[in-house]
Amino acid sequence: MILLSVTGYNPLQHYDNMPFLADLFMSDEKNNNGATPKSPKSMGDDWGSGFGAGRTKLFESTKDFDIYCDRERDVNYIFHGPELGCTIDHLEYDPETCHVTVVTNDRQRLDLGARIQWLVRPYIAKEQDLFIIRTENGEAIDGVEVPLKIKEPEITKTVN
């Protein structure tokens, strides 16, 4: 689930800042025969694949966390239910694969567990501090502010 803050119009002729659930088909991946896959039942089913194969994920399932982008305040959050089980040093976003790597204090590299979808990429694809907040029954229990770095593109060296 990805929530974005937008300005909506209510029947009382007022504009309100209200969140909405972006329930769209947002993956730009293609399957093996080149055809665009059918729209998933929910956004939680559309997190992409391939990058995280064999890598340890921070979250077991995409249902364990949500990404929230507040456009008005230019602040981004990751809300999660289960405990992390590690101390996060920083996050690293790779624009080529659209994945976030979690780097722990002991230098382990974990996959966040989801591909960042196109609707959220403009808000995530910049150096910033991101808030990771653990929740239970809709209430914030604890949280941490973590720097998000952008991975530099790899330069291919050629030998003449």
Q: How does pLDDT run along the chain (160 residues), one tens digit per residue?
A: 444 444 444 444 444 444 443 433 333 444 445 555 454 454 444 444 444 455 788 888 888 899 999 988 989 999 999 988 889 999 999 999 999 999 999 999 999 888 898 888 999 889 999 999 999 988 899 999 999 999 988 777 777 6
Domain enclosing residue 119, as ranges: 2-150
Domain count, the chain: 1
**If 0-12 CB within 10 Å is exposed, 13-18 middle and 19+ buried, where does residue 5 land?**
middle
- Whether residue 11 is contained in a domain is answered as yes
Strands (E) across the chain are located at 2-9, 15-21, 65-70, 75-80, 88-94, 99-104, 109-115, 128-136, 139-150
pTM of the model: 0.62
- Whether residue 159 is contained in a domain is answered as no
- Please name the residue that has the structure tokens 């077991």: 60
Say how far apart CA 141 and CA 14 lie, in whole Å: 34
How far, CA to CA in Å, does 54 sit from each of 36, 60, 113?
A: 25, 13, 12
